[in-house]
Amino acid sequence: MRALLVANPAATTTSARTRDVLTHALASEMKLEAVTTEYRGHARDLGRRAAEHGIDLVVALGGDGTVNEVVNGLLHNGPDPERLPRLAVVPGGSTNVFARALGLPNDAVEATGALLDALREQRERTVGLGLAAGTPGTEDESVPARWFTFCAGFGFDAGVVGRVEQQRERGKRSTHALYVRQLMRQFWEEPNRRQGVVTLERPGADPVTDLVLSIVCNTSPWTYLGNRPIYASPEASFDTALDVLALNRLSTPTVARHATQLLTSTPERGPRGKHAVSLHDLTDFTLHSKVPLPFQMDGDHLGLRTSVRFTGVRRALRVIV
């Protein structure tokens, strides 16, 4: 087996020694080339090269951002599960949503052991992914399409992600406390929290208007708070298309109610109420905004957009589990 290990040296929960140990463990079982990323987008370039050169397996060692880049490289020319390299993930970030949603251990060493066991037993699954692109006929139509593995957000939650990234660039560690602080700041400074500016349009249905928050889920849980899984769209799955949780108001009582629902959410029950909109298994839909809003995918802030077109693609990529 020809394999490529893509390792992010900035991953928050792995050290150089840990990466060396994992590399040796993987190299003992396969013909392995290990590359450490050197710039933003490097993992994407490596994933594309692996797809073009017939590599059998790509192992992403890092957080969700590293995984997202590798996936976008692998799928540069579109999904083809039978032809493309298989993907394996060794979690090295602060949250590792994609790896944990697949059922992998949230520890790099344990995950490597699980990966080797899965390869010996030939365990894999084909997962669906989300694709976000600029909407034809809008000022964002030229924005390149990009794949995401577990979630995207347009509006409030993307603003929180952007604030966290700013703090990390200033040297702050990525912790759950940091996210909570930035969430509260985003809430108090959110100009559209009482009257939403986002409209969701989908074929064969009336538009859903005046949305303040819109979270697009490709799997469940949506994220983790420490060891606690948070279920924004409990029915979301790698085996279906995309789910959406949206809110049309962010008043203090509404936020308190839905925050409590999220913290107590389960695989059977997520946020609900008159200000919540939950949609399941959407293959094609568009989010439009009256003003430019923050946009994020897989926890990576991508700037401001006024319109995003989403596609849920079933059976997009083979993953070792």
What per-residue confidence (pLDDT) applies to 145?
96
The answer to whether the predicted template modeling score (pTM) of the entire model surpasses 0.85 is yes
pLDDT of residue 259: 86
HSE-up of 108 (CA within 13 Å, CB side)?
Answer: 26
Helix (H, G, I), strand (E, B) or coil at 195: coil
Burial 8-42 (b: 16+ CB within 10 A, else e): beebbbbeeebbeebbeebeeebebebeebeeeeb
**CB neighbourhood size of 178 (10 A):** 16
47 CB-near residues (< 8 Å, 6+ apart): 6, 58, 69, 70, 71, 72, 73, 74, 76
Digit-coded pLDDT (tens) for 100-116: 999 999 999 999 999 99
* Farthest CA pair distance, the chain: 58
Residue 168 tokens read as: 């990390």
pLDDT tens-digit map of 76-92: 999 999 999 999 999 99
pLDDT score at 36: 95
Under the banding of pLDDT at 50, 70 and 90, the label for residue 134 is very high
User: Of 224, 221, 216, nearest to 245 (Cα)?
Assistant: 216
What type of residue is 282? Answer: L
The angle at the Cα of 183, spanning 180 to 185, to the nearest 5 degrees, equals 115
Q: What is the mean pLDDT of residues 111-131?
A: 96
Most confident segment among 170-179, 251-260, 286-295: 286-295
Q: Which residue has the higher pLDDT, 2 or 192?
A: 2
Long-range contacts of 48-54 (CB under 8 A, 24+ apart): 48/73, 48/74, 48/76, 49/73, 50/4, 50/74, 50/85, 51/75, 51/76, 51/77, 51/84, 51/85, 54/2
| Cα angle value 308/88/98 (rounded, 5°) | 45
C-alpha 104/C-alpha 96 separation (Å) is: 10
| pLDDT (0 to 100) of residue 18 | 86
Per-residue pLDDT tens digits for 138-194: 999 999 999 999 999 998 888 888 888 788 778 787 677 777 788 778 877 877 767
240: helix, strand or coil: coil
Is residue 233 within 8 Å of 262, Cβ to Cβ? Answer: no
Length of the chain: 321
Q: State the Cα–Cα distance between residues 207 and 202, nearest whole angstrom.
A: 7
246 or 254: which carries more pLDDT confidence?
A: 246
User: What pLDDT shows up at residue 131?
Assistant: 98
